[in-house]
Structures are given as C-alpha cells and as structure tokens.
Amino acid sequence: MKGCLTFAAILIHASLFTSVTAQNASNVTIGVDLTNAAAAPPATGVVYSGGHVLQNPTIQPIYWGHKTAGHIVGLVQPPMDLFYSEIVGSSYLLMPEYQVQDATFNTSYFYEMDNGAVLDDALDIQPFLINLAKKGIIQPNQNTYYPVYVRVAGLLWNNLESCTDFCYYRNSVTYAKGQTIYYGVFPLYMSFCTPCTSISQIANLIINSAMALASAVTNPEASQASSSLGYVDAVSGVGIGELCRTVRKVSKLEEVFTVNGRYFQLPPLWSEKLQGCTANFQTLAVPVAALLGAPTQ
C-alpha cells in the first residue's frame, strides 16, 4: 500500500464503495486503493468518544480555478452551491441523535487562479486555507466546514495520489491561537478520472460531498486520539457519512427533499438510533430513483 493512516480508513472511489483499513499518520479521512488494502471489519455500532462535533455547522464551499467558459471549476460551482444551499435546510443534515442541528450555508468563495499542477495537502492546500483565514476572506470557527474544489493535475497526501488512491479526503489544520480549519478536498481533474466519475462529474461530486459533509459535522477532527473522535463506528472507524456505502454495502441512493421543493439522490447515512441507513433520521431508507436536484413540481 502506498501510504498509511491513523485509523480505519474508507475507500471513497464512488464506483467501488468498499472499506479498507490502514495504520499510521495524521488527522485525515482518506480513501485508498482496494487492490492494495484489506477489507475493514464489519461495523458494530457508532460510538461517541467525547470529541468535537459541529453542532450548528456553517458550510462555505471554496473553488480554486477559473470561471471562464469551459473550465471545470467554474462549471461545478453553480450545482455544488445549489446542493449545499438546499441540503442545509433538509432532514438529511439535521441529526439530533448526533447533536447536529440548524445547519447554514455561507456564500462560496472563488479563488480565480488556475494552477494545473500537482498539489500537496501539507505544502499547498493547508497554507492556502491559512492564508485565506489570515486575510479574513474566510472566518473559521468551531462550527465551520470548508469543502474545497480545486482543478489539479494531481493531489497528494503522504504519498497517496488522487484518482489512483482516493477521490476526496477530509482533514483539519490548526493555526494562530489554536484556531482550527475543518475542510474537505475534492480534486477536479485536467484529464478524465474514471474511478471518481463513474456516474458523471457532477453526480459523483454531489455523492462524495454528501458523505464527506455528514462525517465532517459529526467527526470533524478525524484523528486517532480517542478524546478527539466524534461519532465513528467502533470497529472500522468509519464515519456516519460513509458507513452505509463502504461498510454496510448499501449501494443505492435515496431521495432527499428540501424545503424549497427540490430533491437530490444521495447516499443514506447511518442512524444508530434506528439501527439502519436513513435519509431523514426518522425512517429507514427505501431506495428510489430520482434526478439530482430535480424540482418536485
């Protein structure tokens, strides 16, 4: 295997949806290649270890690239902003059993610079976010989550490579006066990445973004230290966002309605209270067919 993790990691290749385990490294939730890793043990129940939870989360997407016609980052901003702005008012993200409620959407930020390079999490992504915070462009606090969409030739974390090893990851970085930035990174490729676009670029982004969001608000630290963990499966270490798809092997998507009369086809989340997968934390999931973001009228 190319790299290691501190806890039971999850495969985020949307075309495969299987879990893996690995050992050693830092505060990252990341996916690795199935061909090089053993399967995770079966889930035994989600537990809370006393760590931080984003109880009133604010989601602010960040886009890094060009807005000009034909550039992928500019193309994904409208549907991803629509997804986040709609999902915060839906039952999908209101999780009283996990202390999460009253989610809000903050206007996205677009950093217009096309690097087209291979970026590294510690050398490029974290300094980029810290710089935005120091300039006051973003204002991180204990309830903010930043999903970052960046056009890259490739993305590296501890010798793991995007597309080959993962489709997205979550991490956190602490800077001045102990302030922590919780973020997820979703690479947008200069060339086609089959494992991460098995449905379509936008559809897979929404699916992966939904899983990352649910796990980010319930386990933002994503670290090995038991005192830092929020809600994760006791054995596999997988968060509630990915648990149904990667460990429970629930491959079908669920219809999620928003207060503005739209619905999205999203992966179900694990409810410890219901002891099953759900899209609303009130009833167990019933797979349906739907169009992403289609209006109900």
Q: What distance in Å separates the CA atoms of residue 54 and residue 95, rounded to the nearest whole number?
A: 11
pLDDT tens-digit series, residues 139-192:
999 999 999 999 888 899 878 999 889 999 999 999 987 899 999 999 987 667
**Helix, strand, coil content of the chain in percent (nearest 5):** 25, 30, 50
Give the model's confidence band at 227: pLDDT under 50 very low, under 70 low, under 90 confident, else very high: low
Name residue, tokens 């899209």: 279
Q: What distance in Å separates the CA atoms of residue 9 and residue 22, rounded to the nearest whole number?
A: 6
Amino acid at 226: S
pLDDT at 9: 28
Q: Of 219, 221, 223, 248, which is closest to residue 232 (Cα–Cα)?
A: 219
pLDDT at 265: 92
Amino acid at 90: S
> Quick check: 41 pLDDT over 90?
no
Both tokens assigned to 93? 């993200």
